[in-house]
Amino acid sequence: MSEAQANSAQQGDLPPGEEGADDGGVHGAVISYLIGLVLAAGLSAASFLLPLTGLVYAPALPVALVVMAIAQMGVHLVFFLHITTGPDNTNNVLALAFGVLIVFLILGGSLWIMANLNQNMPSMTQIMQMQR
């Protein structure tokens, strides 16, 4: 840990996912998880209640829901997976990036196959001729 990080840790200036990381205390970790739980539950409840309230203009509702979904992903990354900007989290960030890459490759490949599936299928008349 650098001197600047040690000074900021002594002053209590830690990123949200890093409470209690250096001192090994359970109390700081429990508080971090509870804050994450409250934020995640609040965002989940808000995403279900938002369409019912009429607070957001109806055509903008999907955008608002996407923003809340991205915020919830951030809450999970910081408070539950403890992915922060610290130098000791480089491997976690690389593993996350690799996982996201694999998911997008599978999703993109599946969509590409499904989009071109109809072109590769024989027509109904050809299928009927094969059955004779």
CA atoms within 13 A on the CB side of 91: 1
Domain count, the chain: 2
Same domain, 74 and 95: no
pTM: 0.61
- What do you get for the CA distance between the two ends of the chain, in Å? 77
Same domain, 81 and 92: no
Same domain, 69 and 7: yes
The residues, any chain, with a CB within 8 Å of residue 15's CB and separated by 6 or more, are 78, 84, 85, 86
Same domain, 31 and 70: yes
Same domain, 25 and 66: yes
With a cut of 60, say whether residue 122 has pLDDT above it. yes
The residues, any chain, with a CB within 8 Å of residue 65's CB and separated by 6 or more, are 47, 50, 51
Same domain, 105 and 131: yes
- Segment 5-28 shows an average pLDDT of 60
- pLDDT the model gives residue 112: 92
Same domain, 81 and 121: no
Phi, psi (degrees; rounded to nearest 5) at 21: -75, -40
- pLDDT the model gives residue 3: 59
Same domain, 73 and 108: no
Domain around 25: 1-85
- Segment 100-106 shows an average pLDDT of 97
Q: What is the mean pLDDT of the chain?
A: 83
Same domain, 107 and 92: yes
Encode pLDDT of 38-69 as tens digits. Answer: 999 999 999 999 999 988 898 999 999 999 99
Q: How much of the chain exceeds pLDDT 90, in percent?
A: 42
Same domain, 80 and 91: no
With a cut of 70, say whether residue 4 has pLDDT above it. no
Same domain, 3 and 60: yes
- pLDDT the model gives residue 6: 55
Same domain, 81 and 103: no
